[in-house]
Structure 1
Amino acid sequence: MDQASILKIAAEACDDKRAEDIIALNMEGVSLVADYFLICHGNSDKQVQAISREIKDRAEENGINVKRVEGFDEAKWVLIDLGDVIAHVFHKEERHYYNLEKLWGDAPFEDLFGDQK
Structure 2
Amino acid sequence: MTASPQALEMAGIAARAADEKLATDIVVIDVSGQLIITDCFVLASAETERQVNAIIDEIEDKLREAGHKPLRREGTREGRWALLDFNEMIVHVQHVDERDYYSLDRLWKDCPIVEIEGVETSRRAAASATGTDDSLAPEEPQRDQGL
Shorter-normalised TM range: over 0.9
Residue ranges of structure 1 left out of the alignment (5+ in a row): none
State whether residues 30 and 106 of structure 1, in contact with CA within 8 Å, keep that contact through their aligned partners in structure 2.
no
Shift of 1:72: 0.4
Equivalenced residues, count: 116
Q: TM-score, normalised by structure 2?
A: 0.75
Structure 2 counterpart of 1:92: 96
Q: Which has the higher contact order (CA 8 A, sep 6+)?
A: 1
Give me the TM-score of the superposition, normalised by structure 1. 0.93
Code of the aligned partner of 2:20: D
Give how far 1:32 is off. Answer: 1.5
Runs (4+) of structure 1 exceeding 6 A deviation are: none
- Structure 1 residue identity aligned to 2:100: H
Relative to its length, the structure with more strand (as a share) is: 1
Give the C-alpha shift of residue 29 in structure 1.
Answer: 1.1
Distance 1:52 1:65 in 2: 13
Give the aligned partner of residue 8 of structure 1: 12
**Deviations, residues 82-108 of structure 1 (Å, cap 9, x unaligned):** 121100000000000000011112211
Question: Equivalent pairs: percent with the same residue?
Answer: 36
Unaligned 5+ segments in structure 2 are: 121-147
RMSD over aligned Cα, in angstroms? 1.3
Name which one, 1 or 2, has greater alpha-carbon Rg.
2
The amino acid of 1:21's aligned partner reads D
